Amino acid sequence: LVQVERGPSLADQLGSRAYVAQYDAAYDLAIEPNKTCFFDTINQVKALTVAGPRSLCVDADLARARGYEPEDLMAVAEIAWHYLMSGGLKLALTLYEGLTAVAPEEPYFALALGLVHDRMNDPRQAQDWYQRASRLDPGDGRPDINRAELYLEAGDRAKALQLMARGAEKARRRGDDVLATKAEALLAHLSRRR
């Protein structure tokens, strides 16, 4: 799987215990003062999706209405990323669902939510969120490559090859040589296995 790109982690900078302490402090600062507000927002969105086919995009101004600044949302995303990488999938799921509710046009949140579903062995939801991330940022190859890997696991080699090639091309155009090289290596390997 292609992980969502992040800068050097606090774990790399400080060691794992300091990393956890830093995130616990960040959680207290970012979530606790607005905990009711943030989790009320998540519950409102869940209620909307249960109530009918209303799109979450209708609530695109929810972040502004609630007073969330982009920095606030990225702080929550950083906490969610910590939980995702340390195996706290349910917490990561809750946080990324909230983030996609308050900022539905942010491709990073959709990509990360796809990765959470992927790690939770829910390929259908992972596919949906990766596809949404791809629509939100058509130049990003990561969602296509992640979807290709899911199709490969499901046995749909033709669709996997198509998406892998498209993802490699997007990565190359964007200058992400590491991702492009990975995708091209997978393509070469799959082509030899025919």
Whether 120 is covered by a domain: the verdict is: no
Structure-model confidence comparison of residues 69 and 14, the more confident one: 69
Domain of residue 18: give its range: 9-105
Number of domains in the chain: 2
Residue 192: pLDDT band by 50, 70, 90 thresholds?
Answer: confident
Which amino acid is it at 44? Q
The answer to whether the CB of 141 falls within 8 A of the CB of 171 is yes
Q: How far apart are CA 155 and CA 184, in angstroms?
A: 19
Sign of the four-CA dihedral 60, 62, 63, 67: positive
Q: How far apart are CA 4 and CA 122, in angstroms?
A: 18
**Average pLDDT value for residue range 27-55:** 42
The answer to which of 19-28, 75-84, 146-155, 182-191 has the lowest mean pLDDT is 19-28
Alpha helices in 53-141 (DSSP H): 62-66, 70-85, 89-102, 107-119, 123-136
pTM: 0.68
pLDDT tens per residue across span 124-175: 999 999 999 999 999 999 999 999 999 999 999 999 999 999 999 999 999 9
Domain-terminating residue out of 41, 70, 105: 105
123 pLDDT exceeds 50? yes
Nearest 5°: CA angle at 182, between 156 and 170?
80
Tokens of 89: 């999938």
